[in-house]
């Protein structure tokens, strides 16, 4: 087995393979295109590998008399709280099959009924396993903060496909497991490709707090915005256990004040306020959404205090440097958290890099303008690339410099040069090879699991080794395969119809503009909602419902609306479904639909 230039010794690599149950695949040939480079030898950053080893094996951890954590079964922790009358499940993991394994482990300890379930927040790694605990037909209450409904709008919005792509890349869902691909997410073990992602719309929404009596044990759920504005935490006073969701975690990762995925519902100040509130409880045990439980009043206080200090420092140091008129890229490149602020809590880049968090904080405060007026007058990327490449001596010289930089280990610069070449010709094979393999080389050395996953995923995408449809299928499917039939994912079924109307709206195509306006009223029969839509000059509007009389009315249920707006089933076929009825001018309805764009 070849073992070329790895960061770790061959014996260490074998150890990884043994631990993670992985197959090796070293050094694929890079092709014979002139200027192309070879794929770097696969390897793993040793520090990151040690960090990831903490998330296995899957096991139950008893936190206190009434609280047990299913740890390492899935990306996030699943917590069971036991009272005399029954059980409460706080967070459900990411996939049904993994959550079923956790439930089976719980069932070896107790056969009491499940009295309720709560989502610490709306992210899929905490909600996706819910059907394991509340199978179809059961009427188990599902608790969440009221803002869960707002998040359902975000996650189904017009840009959700790109948002999901970022999530899929971040988690490494499309990568092989192990040394060639993902070794986990920084906050949990490897998330497997297959499996069922489920969702149940919360049945019990609350604003401030709610108490659930399990018989002798009371679970107090309270609003604690963090990762999202629907964040909640749980206090089990009897045992002194605080469940903090993703706001304070025992994973030695920086507080996630922002993410490259970008989330409308994440506020750094709200996040910090929640951390501050956690200190009030004097908890004896803390269980975060990820990582090992923390035991002992002093240890819990230290973790909360240091997370608080570090979050506040990152926030305020960014603000100070904004006021010093520093460029965001400069702030991000140089901001460090001083050791005396961190104390003994060793926060590291294992999850999101500190510099990404700083960029996110800057962006939410100040937007896209860096303060450099060049931003206001910038050349378009292609024009910039053309002039830069000319200044570098032309395409051939740049094409020679890129692999040289790669061979010299200047991977970021190699990728930058290749990016300029690709701006001129996106199909330049040599540039694609340099960029993709430079990303891989950086990934293999990275101590950030998310950086590793993002870069390796992009490299595979760039070289056509995985298709966007595969990614979309991973992100959306209930059962891995890209959904094609008349079923829709749970998360889409739970989403507001207005989100799918928005998705339909952006199918308007001004190049197909016709002189006449066309109006179709969509009546969502199972939700009692009506959306009058007018297509005029290739723009679809629904803000002025009285603009003109409807040419046709389409009566359909939410599921049919999802099928149409997502384009996963041809709209003509959806119109043939028994629950869809057309009234009015059928020819104009067809013209309306034909004037939209469907080629995705
Ligand atoms: Zn999480």
Give me ligand 1 centre to Cα 171, in Å: 11
Give me ligand 1 centre to Cα 130, in Å: 14
Which pLDDT belongs to residue 344?
87
Give me ligand 1 centre to Cα 298, in Å: 25
Give me ligand 1 centre to Cα 542, in Å: 36
Going by pLDDT thresholds of 50, 70 and 90, the confidence category of residue 419 is very high
Give me ligand 1 centre to Cα 371, in Å: 34
CA distance 214 to 115: 7
Tens of pLDDT, residue by residue over 268-327, are 999 999 999 999 999 999 999 999 999 999 999 999 999 999 999 999 999 999 999 999
Conformational region of residue 155, where left means phi above 0, alpha means psi within -120 to 50, and beta covers everything else: alpha
Which pLDDT belongs to residue 19?
35
The first and second tokens of residue 566, run together, are 């997502």
CA distance 347 to 384: 39
Give me ligand 1 centre to Cα 203, in Å: 21
Going by pLDDT thresholds of 50, 70 and 90, the confidence category of residue 405 is very high
Give me ligand 1 centre to Cα 238, in Å: 26
Give me ligand 1 centre to Cα 196, in Å: 17
Q: Domains of the chain, with CATH numbers? A: 10-49 (no CATH), 376-472 (1.25.40.880), 496-594 (3.30.1050.10)
Its pTM stands at 0.91
Alpha carbons within 13 angstroms on the beta-carbon side of residue 473 total 16
Tens of pLDDT, residue by residue over 508-548, are 998 887 777 899 999 999 999 999 999 999 999 886 666 67
Which pLDDT belongs to residue 546?
65
What is the average per-residue pLDDT within 543-570?
A: 87
Mean of the per-residue pLDDT values of the chain: 90
What is the average per-residue pLDDT within 476-485?
A: 45
Residues 6 or more apart from 270 whose CB is under 8 A from it? 225, 226, 229
Tens of pLDDT, residue by residue over 41-72, are 999 999 999 999 999 999 999 999 999 999 99
DSSP-assigned states of every residue in 379-440: PPHHHHHHHHHHHTT-HHHHHHHHHHHHHTT-HHHHHHHHHHHHHH-TT-HHHHHHHHHHHH
Give me ligand 1 centre to Cα 287, in Å: 12
**φ/ψ of residue 135, rounded to 5:** -65, 165
- Whether 573 contacts 545, CB under 8 Å: no
Q: Please say if the pLDDT value at position 21 is more than 80.
A: no
Which pLDDT belongs to residue 10?
35
The first and second tokens of residue 36, run together, are 């192309």
Give me ligand 1 centre to Cα 120, in Å: 9
**What letters, b where the CB count within 10 A reaches 16 and e where it falls short, cover 419-451?**
bbbbbbeeebebbbbbbbbbbbbbbbbbbbbbb
Tens of pLDDT, residue by residue over 74-102, are 999 999 999 999 999 999 999 999 999 99
Tens of pLDDT, residue by residue over 345-386, are 889 999 999 999 999 999 999 999 999 999 999 999 999 999
Q: Please say if the pLDDT value at position 474 is more than 80.
A: no
Give me ligand 1 centre to Cα 123, in Å: 6
**φ/ψ of residue 297, rounded to 5:** -55, -45
- Whether 508 contacts 596, CB under 8 Å: yes
CA distance 37 to 25: 17
Which pLDDT belongs to residue 515?
74
Give me ligand 1 centre to Cα 265, in Å: 15
Give me ligand 1 centre to Cα 450, in Å: 13
């Amino acid at each position: 087995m070849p073992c070329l230039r790895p960061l770790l010794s061959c014996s260490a690599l074998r150890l990884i393979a043994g631990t993670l149950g992985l197959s090796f695949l070293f050094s694929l040939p890079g092709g014979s295109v002139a200027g192309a480079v070879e794929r770097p030898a696969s390897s793993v950053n040793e520090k990151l590998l040690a960090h990831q080893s903490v998330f296995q094996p899957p096991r139950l951890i008893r936190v206190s008399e009434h609280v047990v954590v299913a740890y390492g079964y899935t990306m996030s922790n699943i917590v069971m709280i036991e009272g005399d009358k029954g059980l409460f499940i706080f967070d459900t993991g990411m996939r049904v099959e993994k959550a079923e394994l956790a439930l089976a482990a719980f069932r070896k300890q107790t056969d009491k009924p499940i009295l309720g379930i709560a989502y610490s927040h709306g992210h899929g790694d905490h909600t996706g396993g819910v059907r394991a605990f509340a199978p179809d037909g059961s009427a188990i209450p599902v608790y969440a903060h009221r803002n869960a409904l707002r998040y359902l709008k975000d996650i189904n919005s017009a840009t959700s496909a790109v948002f999901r792509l970022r999530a899929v890349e971040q988690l490494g869902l499309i990568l092989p497991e192990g040394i060639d691909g993902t070794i986990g997410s920084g906050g949990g073990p490897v998330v497997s490709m297959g499996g069922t992602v489920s969702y149940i719309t919360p049945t019990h929404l609350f604003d401030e707090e709610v108490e659930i009596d399990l018989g002798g044990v009371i679970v107090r759920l309270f609003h604690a915005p963090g990762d999202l504005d629907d964040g909640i935490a749980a206090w089990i006073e009897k045992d002194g256990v605080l469940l903090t969701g993703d706001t304070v975690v025992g994973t030695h990762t920086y507080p996630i004040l922002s993410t490259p995925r970008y989330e409308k519902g994440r506020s750094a100040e709200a996040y910090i306020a929640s951390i501050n509130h956690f200190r009030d409880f004097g908890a004896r045990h803390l269980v975060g959404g990820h990582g090992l439980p923390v035991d002992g009043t002093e240890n819990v206080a230290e973790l909360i205090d240091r997370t608080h200090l570090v979050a506040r420092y990152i926030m305020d140091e960014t603000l100070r440097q904004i006021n010093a008129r520093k460029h965001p890229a400069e702030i991000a490149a140089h901001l460090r958290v001083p050791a005396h602020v961190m104390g003994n809590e060793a926060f590291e880049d294992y999850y999101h890099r500190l510099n990404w968090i700083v960029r996110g904080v800057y962006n939410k405060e100040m937007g896209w303008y860096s303060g450099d007026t060049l931003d206001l007058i910038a050349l378009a990327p292609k024009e910039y690339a053309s002039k830069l490449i000319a200044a570098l001596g032309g395409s051939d010289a740049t094409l020679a410099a890129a692999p040289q930089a790669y061979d010299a280990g200047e991977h970021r610069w190699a990728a930058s040069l290749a990016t300029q070449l690709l701006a001129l010709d996106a199909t330049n094979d040599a540039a694609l090879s340099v960029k993709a393999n430079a990303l891989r080389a950086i990934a293999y050395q990275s101590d950030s699991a998310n950086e590793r996953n993002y870069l390796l995923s992009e490299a595979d995408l760039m070289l056509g080794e995985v298709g966007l449809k595969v990614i979309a299928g991973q992100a959306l499917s209930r059962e891995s395969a890209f959904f094609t039939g008349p079923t829709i994912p749970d998360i889409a079924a739970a989403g507001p119809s207005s989100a799918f109307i928005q998705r339909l709206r952006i199918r308007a195509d001004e190049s197909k503009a016709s002189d006449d306006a066309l109006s179709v009223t969509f009546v969502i029969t199972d939700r009692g909602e009506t959306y009058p839509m007018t297509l005029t000059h290739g723009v679809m509007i629904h803000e002025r419902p009285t603009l003109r009389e409807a040419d046709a009315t389409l009566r359909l249920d939410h599921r049919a609306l999802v099928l149409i707006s997502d384009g996963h089933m041809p709209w003509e076929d959806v119109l043939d479904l028994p629950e869809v009825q057309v009234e009015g001018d059928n020819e104009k309805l067809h013209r309306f639909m034909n004037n939209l764009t469907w080629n995705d």
